[in-house]
Chain A
Amino acid sequence: EAGVVQSPRYKIIEKKQPVAFWCNPISGHNTLYWYRQNLGQGPELLIRYENEEAVDDSQLPKDRFSAERLKGVDSTLKIQPAELGDSAVYLCASSARPGTVLYEQYFGPGTRLTVT
Chain B
Amino acid sequence: GQQLNQSPQSMFIQEGEDVSMNCTSSSIFNTWLWYKQDPGEGPVLLIALYKAGELTSNGRLTAQFGITRKDSFLNISASIPSDVGIYFCAGTRGSQGNLIFGKGTKLSVKP
From A13-21, A64-72, A73-81, A94-102, the one touching the partner chain is: A94-102
Q: Across the interface, which residues of B come within 8 angstroms of A61, CB to CB?
A: none
Nearest B residue to A97, CB-CB = B97
A residues at B contact (CB < 8 Å): 4, 31, 33, 40-45, 48, 55-56, 91, 93, 95, 98, 101-110, 112
- Mind listing 13 A-B residue pairs with CB under 8 Å? A31-B97, A41-B103, A42-B88, A42-B90, A42-B104, A43-B88, A43-B101, A44-B2, A103-B48, A104-B33, A105-B99, A107-B44, A109-B40
> CB within 8 A of A107: which of B43, B92, B97?
B43
Is the CB of B111 closer than 8 A to any CB of chain A?
no
Asked if residues A48 and B42 are in contact (CB atoms below 8 Å), the reply is no
When chains A and B are docked, how far (Å) is the Cα of A31 from the Cα of B44? 17
When chains A and B are docked, how far (Å) is the Cα of A44 from the Cα of B102? 10
Asked if residues B2 and A42 are in contact (CB atoms below 8 Å), the reply is yes
When chains A and B are docked, how far (Å) is the Cα of A55 from the Cα of B99? 14
Asked if residues B101 and A42 are in contact (CB atoms below 8 Å), the reply is yes
Nearest Cβ on chain A to B88's Cβ, whole angstroms: 5
Is the CB of B96 closer than 8 A to any CB of chain A?
yes
Is the CB of B45 closer than 8 A to any CB of chain A?
yes
Asked if residues A110 and B97 are in contact (CB atoms below 8 Å), the reply is no
